[in-house]
Amino acid sequence: MFRMRLVIGLLLAVASLPEMLAAQLSSNDYGQYVILNAQYGTPRRHVDVTNRLKELARQDRMFRMGNSTFGVDPDQGQDKTLRIYARGPNGQERMFEYREGSTVDGSEFRSWGGGDWGNGGWSGNWEGGGRGRNYEPQPEMTAAIQHLREAQRNLQLATHDKGGHRENAIRIIEQAIGEVEMGIQYDNTH
């Protein structure tokens, strides 16, 4: 009787093994590349979006990206690109490029969902080499835009009976976003 229970227990354990492995693999933390930095924009104007990418990675393995994803339009009227700079298992750096509107799949990156990446170690510029003249990471400015966009969304969802103050706040936030974007653009060109 004991043997029969043991055999049944082993069969049940083996039967659930594929599900356990699939769950582990779907946690998408097993890619071979470690993200060093993420930039969004054009060669002429781009911003550091590493922290925002961490937020997105914690929410889902895949997402469609564009200006609204990152809360910034670093080069208005131009097609933008997300560039993820990563280090592979052999220590060499590699750039992953995603065009505006495309889907980003984090399964190639180690610790994607955990966000345990992007903490330095990258010394490149937009092209991936040594630090360029027009490159300067601006995580605080990028974070400011992201927070302003979140405040803007919250105000737009609020009820309209605020005596005109809600509308004024939305207008002022739009102006603040424009000023921060112009500050980023100025810093990238000077």
- Comparing CA positions, the residue from 137, 40, 51 lying closest to residue 96 is 40
* pLDDT(126) > 90: no
Q: Where is average pLDDT lowest: 62-71, 93-102, 136-145, 150-159?
A: 136-145
Whole-number pLDDT of residue 141: 77
Whole-number pLDDT of residue 82: 93
* pLDDT(123) > 70: no
Q: Which residues contact 42 (CB under 8 A, 6 or more apart)?
A: 74, 75, 78, 79, 80, 81
* pLDDT(8) > 60: yes
Whole-number pLDDT of residue 92: 79
pTM here is 0.55
Q: Which residues share a beta bridge with 11?
A: none
Cα–Cα distance between 67 and 81 in angstroms, integer? 10
Cα–Cα distance between 133 and 43 in angstroms, integer? 11
Q: Where is average pLDDT lowest: 1-5, 23-27, 101-105?
A: 23-27
- Comparing CA positions, the residue from 34, 25, 69, 48 lying closest to residue 135 is 48
Between 70 and 18, the higher pLDDT residue? 70
Between 57 and 139, the higher pLDDT residue? 57
